[in-house]
Amino acid sequence: MSAARSPYIVGRAYDWAFFLSPPILALLLGIGIAGTRFDRGDFSLFGRETTGAALALGVLVHAHLFAVFFRTHANRSIFRLYPLRFLVVPVALFAVIRSAPAMGVTAMVVATFWDVWHSAAQTFGLARVYDRNAGNAPLAGRRLDLWINQLLYAGPILAGVTMIDHFDQFAEYEKVDLAALARVPAFMERTHRYWGAAVLIAGAAFVGWYAISYLRLRRGGHRVSPHKVFLIASTGLCSIACWGFNSWGEAFFVMNLVHAVQYLALVWATEHRQLLDRSGLQRFRAGKPVLLFGFGAVVLGYGAFAQLLDPKLETLWTLTIVVSLLHFWYDGFVWSVRRAQV
């Protein structure tokens, strides 16, 4: 066990604003906009029908997907470790997706479910940093935390009312003559109650095991991080309320808003110093605000482009799918690289 440090990742105000409070605040915002003109009022923009909520969320989601490149290609210490992954894989992935319509559909299906894993893994990563900051050994309870976060995020999807929305993408296989895969949504809907029962039984058992395991760790000197507990509990309750029941019809808005805000805040916190150094802006008093403006302009600019893009422009549409898949993959091993470096 190491000595305890500051319990926060960045600082009290920053952590509460961007890491700890988003699940509760996003849920309250989702409830607040439900049924309003912002949420339901359709309008046309560049030939696309949308709503204020869909447009704002879509831009933010695509922005956070693109932000991963500030952790990889814009970070020299990371980029030089894996140049092939950062230069060759994007081109190869683009070529594979464009090689056949079935590959495009498969990429969309993979992105849907990888996003679920990735979102839960982000909460896991933040939780583990809070655990480390409390002075605990790096591997103590790590696997427990990994699976409790996956359970609390993916479990309500599989057992709840939004399950079919996550499997609907399989229906696109009908267009590429893969009828067996196109029947997956119907199969999942038909067997939904069994999946729900399995999640409830297995989930309850695991939560009990999780609590018992941490009681044992605590008796052995493990220091409980209240910030970690709050993050996991609030995210889990938000996931259950949204994915499980979706009482206000804002599940995708709330859960994607939480993830995107946390991620953009994390990228800024971890990368702005080296970006200041690379750009030379650290020499100026206004360097940091200028960099923040530029960072926001780049990621939100891409977000607006991707959100308003006509899917019929297949080459550009493929580019946005590549960005999505690379976001999930790149971010996962950047966490691993930095954990190993620490």
Q: Is residue 149 part of a domain?
A: yes
> Domain for residue 310, yes or no?
yes
Q: What is the rounded CA–CA span in Å between residue 140 and residue 138?
A: 6
Does the structure show a pLDDT above 60 at 3? no
- Whole-Å CA distances, 34 to 31, 48, 138, 248: 5, 22, 41, 6
pTM of the model: 0.95
pLDDT in tens, 70-96: 999 999 989 998 899 999 999 999 999
The residue among 312, 333, 342, 311 whose CA lies nearest residue 121 is 333
Number of domains forming the structure of the chain: 1
Tell me if 113 is assigned to some domain: yes
> Is residue 165 in some structural domain?
yes
Q: Are 53 and 33 in contact (CB under 8 A)?
A: yes
How does pLDDT run across 97-124, given as a tens digit for each residue?
A: 999 999 999 999 999 999 999 999 999 9
The verdict on residue 53 lying in a domain is no
In the predicted model, is pLDDT for residue 216 greater than 90?
A: yes
Inside any domain, residue 12: no
Q: Phi-psi bin for 206: left (phi > 0), alpha (psi -120 to 50), beta? A: alpha
**Calpha distance 116→106 (Å, rounded):** 16
Give kind and range of the element (H or E) at residue 306.
helix 287-308
On whether residue 35 sits in a domain, the answer given is no
CA distance 295 to 49: 28
Query: Residue 32: inside a domain, yes or no?
Result: no
Structural domain of 180? 58-341
Check: CB of residue 102 under 8 Å from CB of residue 317: no
